Amino acid sequence: MIICRTKADMRENVRNWKRVGQTVGLVPTMGYLHEGHLALVRMAIQKADRVVASIFVNPTQFGPNEDLATYPRDEKQDLDLLAAEGVDAVFLPSEEEMYGAGGGTHVDVPDLSGILQGALRPGHFRGVSTVVTKLFNIVAPDIAVFGEKDYQQLTLIRQMVRDLDMPLEIVGHPTVRENDGLAMSSRNVRLSEDHRSEAVMLNRALDRAQEFAKTGPAIAELEAVVKSRLAQAPSAEVKSVDIRDAATLGELQGALDRPAVVLLAVRFGPVLLIDQRVIAPVT
């Protein structure tokens, strides 16, 4: 497995692969890898001749009061896991290598970056779209794999790729969960024992929404059902429950009459967890 710490080195390896007609898959990560990340890697390996995983804790997508300083990191463990999966190269740039000095250019998808999680975390998605664009320009992948747990991020990146005519395919991978249903996240390690036991309520709330959706309820009724189930976790600070059009993230009114995505953002102590589920009425 090749470890590339500079953009020039990463580009040179990709050029060598493409020179002999090989396709390239990219799995962008912020490290501290778990089974959810590895599932994305395995999907990329199925779809491309060569696979690059990037590890970069991107400072531009963290707000001033967020957890950049405490975000978990373990480079050696990450490299061991990626090598075991058969990844061809890992892109491991420093902040200086990635952004240089005084860079002021940003990429934004305004229709999607200021709503939902974007409203809770101003500037977050501008940071995401900028760093992902840079990764696409550096690695030049034919496909890139992202998890559906970050549903708004996946929707935003797909629109960015369409709008800017980027020559690659964006592939979504279903949310990978722990045995008790909690969505896998690098932040889970920071949950206290009590908060960890309560956090399973996110998945249970989504299960309830999926079942209730079969009746074609009003959107307001569906939202109330989800909030009622989340209220069973005493420590949960519900930041948002949103039910949006699954394709566009547009607002829905009246009865549920098409596929929708339920988006949750819930804080347990210092840790903000997100989860999602696409649901649909029985037709």
How far is the C-alpha of 88 from the C-alpha of 109, rounded, in Å? 31
Which of 37, 124, 173, 195 is catalytic? The answer is 37
How far is the C-alpha of 166 from the C-alpha of 102, rounded, in Å? 25
Amino acid at 259: P
User: Tokens 């709330």 correspond to what residue?
Assistant: 205
Radius of gyration of the chain (CA): 19
* Bridge pairing between strands 260-268 and 271-279: antiparallel
195 is catalytic: no
How far is the C-alpha of 261 from the C-alpha of 255, rounded, in Å? 14
How far is the C-alpha of 123 from the C-alpha of 114, rounded, in Å? 8
**Residues with catalytic function:** 37
